[in-house]
């Protein structure tokens, strides 16, 4: 089996890989577009539309053959007895991770803006201290 997968994402990632094994190819593709992507022709797109896999050497049906539905909410779990935590499939979706990264960046920008604003105000009020 000779499978070729090209991944491109909205974040600008572009990666091509060849696989001899269907299992390895599936793992690679699913890492980007999830287990249940939108499919068309020879490509598969992640549920949030931020990653695309162009596939050659195997049908999409075969590559993504797995029952079930795309998780739409967090089902992370923590086992108090073993102390082990389980990261759910939803949180491992590339689109979920990308979404969180974007939100984190937005928050950081907002915090910096807020900090500058409070500093400005303190300067105006004459309560600003350099340390």
Q: Which residues of the shown chain bind Zn ion in the complex (CB under 5 A)?
A: 74, 76, 88, 91
- Describe the strand order of the beta sheet including 38-40 as a list of residue ranges: 14-19, 3-9, 51-56, 43-45, 38-40
Closest approach of Zn ion to the CB of residue 32, in Å: 18
- Cβ closer to Zn ion: 14 or 85? 85
Closest approach of Zn ion to the CB of residue 85, in Å: 10
- Cβ closer to Zn ion: 59 or 87? 87
- Cβ closer to Zn ion: 76 or 97? 76
Closest approach of Zn ion to the CB of residue 29, in Å: 21
- Cβ closer to Zn ion: 10 or 88? 88
What is the distance between the alpha carbons of residues 71 and 25, in angstroms, rounded to a whole number?
A: 21
Q: Which single residue is written with the structure tokens 């049906």?
A: 61
Closest approach of Zn ion to the CB of residue 99, in Å: 13
Asked whether the beta carbons of 64 and 29 are under 8 A apart, the reply is: yes
> Dihedral, CA atoms, 76, 31, 33, 39, nearest 10 degrees?
-120
């Amino acid at each position: 089996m000779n499978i070729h997968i090209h991944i491109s994402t909205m974040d600008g990632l572009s990666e091509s890989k060849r696989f001899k094994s269907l299992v390895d190819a599936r793992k690679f593709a699913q890492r980007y577009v999830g287990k249940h992507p939108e499919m068309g022709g020879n490509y598969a797109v992640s549920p949030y539309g931020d990653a695309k896999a162009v596939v050659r050497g195997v049908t999409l049906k075969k590559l993504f053959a797995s029952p079930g539905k795309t998780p739409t909410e967090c089902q992370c779990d923590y086992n108090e007895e073993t102390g082990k935590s389980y990261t759910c499939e939803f949180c491992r979706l590339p689109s979920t991770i990308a979404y969180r990264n974007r939100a984190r960046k937005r928050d950081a920008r907002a915090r910096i803006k807020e900090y500058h604003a409070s500093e400005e105000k303190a300067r105006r009020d004459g309560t600003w201290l350099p340390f």
